[in-house]
Amino acid sequence: GAPGDVNSNVLVARSTGDAQLDKAVWQWLSWDKNQKTKEQIESLLQNGKHKELRDRLCCRLTFGTAGLRSAMGAGFCYINDLTVIQSTQGIYKYLERNFSDFKQRGFVVGYDTRGQVTSNCSSKKLAKLTAAVLLAKDVLVYFFSTYVPTPFVPYAVQQLGAVAGVMITASHNRKEDNGYKVYWENGAQITSPHDKEIIKCIEECVEPWNGSWNENLVDTSPLRQDPLKKICDSYMEDLTKICYHRELNMQTSLKFVHTSFHGVGHDYVQLAFKAFGFQPPIPVPEQKDPDPDFSTVKCPNPEEGESVLELSLRLAEKEDARVVVATDPDADRLAVAEQQENGRWKVFTGNELAALFGWWMFSRWKESCSQDADVRNVYMLATTVSSKILRAIALKEGFHFEETLPGFKWIGSRVKNLLDNGKEVLFAFEESIGFMCGTSVLDKDGVSAAVVIAEMATYLQGQSLTLAHKLVDIYETYGYHISKTSYFLCYDPPTIKRIFERLRNFDGPQSYPGCCGIYNILHVRDITTGYDSSQLNKKSVLPVSKSSQMITFTFQNGCVATLRTSGTEPKIKYYAEMCALPGHSDRSVLEEELQKLIEALIESFLEPDKNGLTWRSA
């Protein structure tokens, strides 16, 4: 039969010999109105590709560390028109149960610039369908008329008093991916139990409702408002709360290069620099405009360092700019490079930048706070796999430091809680170059971080210092914190599970390793099971996270190392840090010890050769 003839499809579908798969195929072909993705399933069916059909149709998207994230394409566990409609219907159901004033307060929808021609799928189109589901149900929808940085969505949710918001983005993932990030009324990403409840609601209403496919509603419905100008103006105004040296910024001779990695960042970073009194940063022309193929970089992740910063570093040399700032494609993360005296570039790690931000935000607070301000009311936060440098600064300066589970969603919720209890939060971060300066946005924000770094570099130049000089100075004052983070790729979930189960039953059932090579282990914390040998009751203080793997080892020599699975990519990540007290400043000795420990960790615990793991290409 013709592809459009549903009855013929049903007959073909019955012939897979698997009732569950037959049903899923039938559902897809009767519900999907996107010709391209519908044809993808039809062609798999016609070619008898039952295993791939099962992989695409017999599982659903779940909430990871950053919402729903997957490859674009056909199937219930991929990101596409149908799964975005289903997810939004579930969210509608959940919000309607939780908020009596949901329809009046409204819902925010933003998007980045990703897309995939072969699936006729783009972030903007997915955002329009998200809005359509809600508009068809008479919900007020704040739909941005153009692409925005991810932080604009949580910011808008708070500013506009909306009940929730969604950002369509896969941040710095590979170009094939897209995602659906959900923010709650408090302006933080949703955490459990909301995510579990929303998944239940999605499963209750999988069939698209009547108005759900009408993407033109954003152009015709009177309930759609465009918050762009209001939010952008208000955001830039709020940004000046963390600007301390406007005069210096206006006069500085320093030049900055900015790359937006083919994403959304260009216009917004230009405006942020203007708000701080700077001349606009010099943009990297080849990377300034959105390009869903990210054609000048091998991957759109600024964390990958010098290899992906090539164009911006060459431009900076040509323009005599000493500092390069790079925002990732959805502008919620920031990479920074600085040219050193020898002409070489230093690309800072997330942990090094956090040391700089922590010092800066605290010293600015101290200089500008009132006489009766209490340092014990001040907080900084980091995720538990990030550097403990803030803990060292906090101990010496008298403010509070707290840790959360990995993922900024945990930081956002905790910060909101602290603010509601009258505390002052200056800074929070995660090592994967996610920074939150100030509390206007309860999520990581690369736009504000970029301009804060520029002001910091300007201020330091006035003292004849570079960012790299200052970093050494911070380590000398608070103790060296030397860390290394990397990852292995593993596309086989059973192998990952086996690696972690082996660690839980290392010297026999339910016994964790007591040493790693020549290094003795003092404590083990297993976030997956909730075990922590350092606690009296052996229970982890951080909440259990059964759905992902994560074990932390504290060694006798002061090193802390964590192995975990990525919440957004097929990776096993490792994090290791040597923390020294002030005065113990032989950096090279610490570095060598850390390197040897990491080698032992990989060899003894991950066994890459035996497990067929792919090393991260340096």
Per the domain annotation, does 89 fall within a domain? yes
HSE value, Cβ hemisphere, 13 Å, CA-based, for 137:
25
Q: What pLDDT is stored for residue 16 in this prediction? A: 81
Assess whether 167 and 301 both reside in one domain.
no
Last residue of a domain, one of 323, 347, 371: 347
Same domain, 85 and 191: yes
Residue 339 and residue 316 in contact, taking contact as beta carbons nearer than 8 Å: yes
Output DSSP code: residue 72.
Answer: B
Check whether residue 214 and residue 302 sit in a common domain: no
171 is catalytic: yes
CA 244 to chain centre: 28
- Kindly tell me the number of DSSP H helices and DSSP E strands found in the chain: 23, 25
| Residue 131 lies in domain | 19-232
Same domain flag for 158 and 288: no
CB-based contacts of 506, cutoff 8 Å, min separation 6: 512, 513
| Residue partners of 351: CB distance under 8 A and separation at least 6 | 386, 387, 389, 431, 481, 483, 485, 577
Amino acid at 449: A
Q: Which of 69, 151, 158, 62 is nearest to 110 (CA)?
A: 151
Q: Tell whether 81 and 224 lie within a shared domain.
A: yes
Same domain for 281 and 195? no
3-state percent breakdown (helix, strand, coil) of the chain, nearest 5: 45, 20, 35
DSSP symbols for 549-596: -EEEEEETTSEEEEEEE-SSSSEEEEEEEEE--TT---HHHHHHHHHH
Contact 128, 218 (CB under 8 A): yes
Query: Collapsing DSSP states into helix, strand and coil, what is residue 520?
Result: strand
Q: 91 and 84 in contact (C-beta within 8 Å)?
A: no
194 and 265 assigned to the same domain: no
What is the domain-level CATH number for residue 267?
A: 3.40.120.10
User: Radius of gyration over alpha carbons of the chain, in Å?
Assistant: 25
Shared domain check, 38 and 77: yes
Strand 115-116 with 550-555, pairing: unpaired
**Segment (H or E) for 145:** none
Domain containing 550 — which CATH number? 3.30.310.50
Q: Is the same domain home to 36 and 157?
A: yes
Query: Does 325 fall in a domain?
Result: yes
Q: Is residue 299 part of a domain?
A: yes
- What does pLDDT average to in each consecutive run of 10 residues of the chain (618 residues)? 48 69 96 98 95 94 86 97 98 97 98 98 98 98 98 98 98 96 96 91 95 96 98 98 98 98 98 98 98 96 94 98 98 98 97 98 96 96 97 98 94 97 98 97 98 98 98 96 94 94 95 96 97 96 90 95 89 94 85 96 97 81
Distance CA 300, CA 289 (A): 14
Task: Give the integer Cα–Cα distance in Å for 466 and 323.
Answer: 10
- Cα angle vertex 331, ends 330, 334, to 5°? 135
Determine contact, residues 361/427, Cβ cutoff 8 Å: yes
Look at residue 616 in the predicted model and tell me its pLDDT: 82
Are 576 and 487 in the same domain? Answer: yes
Query: Among residues 312, 347, 382, which one ends one of the domains?
Result: 347
Q: Is residue 564 part of a domain?
A: yes
Are 56 and 74 in contact by the 8 Å Cβ rule? The answer is yes
Is residue 530 a contact partner of residue 539, using CB atoms and an 8 Å limit?
yes
φ/ψ of residue 379, rounded to 5 = -130, 150
pLDDT of 584: 77
DSSP output for 389-400: HHHHHHHHHT-E
Based on the fold, state whether residues 168 and 277 are members of the same structural domain. Answer: no
Q: Which of 70, 119, 123, 171 is catalytic?
A: 171
Number of structural domains in the chain: 3
Is 125 exposed, middle or buried, given 0-12, 13-18 or 19+ CB atoms closer than 10 A? Answer: middle
88 assigned to some structural domain:
yes
pLDDT of residue 384: 95
In a domain, 393, yes or no: no
φ, ψ of residue 407 to 5 degrees: the values are: 105, 130
DSSP secondary structure letters along 1-52: --TT-HHHHHHHHHTTS-HHHHHHHHHHHHH---HHHHHHHHHHHHTT-HHH
CA–CA separation, 252 vs 458, rounded Å?
A: 7
Measured CA to CA, the distance from residue 300 to residue 277 in angstroms comes to 30
Burial class (CB in 10 A: 0-12, 13-18, 19+), 38: buried
Domain-embedded: residue 380: no
d(CA 278, CA 270): 9
Of 294, 318, 347, which marks where a domain is finished? Answer: 347
Residue at 179 is within a domain? yes
Query: How many Å apart are CA 224 and CA 218, to the nearest integer?
Result: 6
Same domain, 341 and 307: yes
